[in-house]
Structure 1
């Protein structure tokens, strides 16, 4: 049995910064999060390719969603570590496609990996992040 896709709910209620960036969720389940980000002038560097900070912010948002879906009710999550390998540029006019999957879902720490692809299907970046899970105070 497949999990319910919560993408519409997360598009409506996503973090303010993700909304400002233009992140669109296409698949949101407890074990897989997929999203897209259009490469526009305002999120580029020079030459006009997707800025590394935008890549990292996209992945951070998606890993946070995965952690949120897998933590106990009443808990909070926060990124405590993030590592990015930049492999290829994503040119202006393309759409970056991101796929986030869990590496480990523990009680207090979760590790998520986000692969970010160009439109030609080539891997552009790999982001691995650790999320801490703690009780809300």
Structure 2
């Protein structure tokens, strides 16, 4: 299950852990670590965006049309709603549109208590 995440050295360096991978839903989590935080002990927004981008990329890849070789992010929009100060940030990515030229993915990040931390919409180009 972790094979797709292992193709992304940055995701592996951050410590992303694959939880499940299907074309309909990709889930991964990232453990809180002080080295990934900003002031106040909160996970850095860039770390949360990296979690969403990596999880969304796997989701897009699993929804590629026949003959495509991969994807690359064209656009990413993030709304941060609350901080993560301990535990895990858990990302769930679902395809909104899987076309011949683009795949649009929506990712929600929740904390250990199930509270919504961030919502991300990505557009991935089909290669």
TM-score range, shorter chain: over 0.9
Q: How many angstroms does 1:8 deviate by?
A: 3.6
Deviations 1:102-122 (A, max 9, x none): 111111011101100011110
Q: 1:25 is matched with which residue: 18, 21, 32? A: 18
Contact 2:38/2:44, CA 8 A, preserved across alignment:
yes
Instruction: Quote the Cα distance in structure 1 between the aligned partners of 2:73 and 2:23.
Output: 17
TM-score normalized with structure 1 length: 0.87
1:47-126 correspondence to structure 2 within 5 Å: 47-71=40-64, 72-91=66-85, 93-126=86-119
Structure 2: any 5+ residue segments left out of the alignment? Answer: none
1:107 is paired with a residue whose SS is coil
2:41 is paired with a residue whose SS is coil
Contact 2:2/2:17, CA 8 A, preserved across alignment:
no
Instruction: Specify the structure having the higher radius of gyration (Cα).
Output: 1
Instruction: Quote the Cα distance in structure 2 between the aligned partners of 1:27 and 1:10.
Output: 11
Alignment of 1:38 with 2:4, yes or no, is no
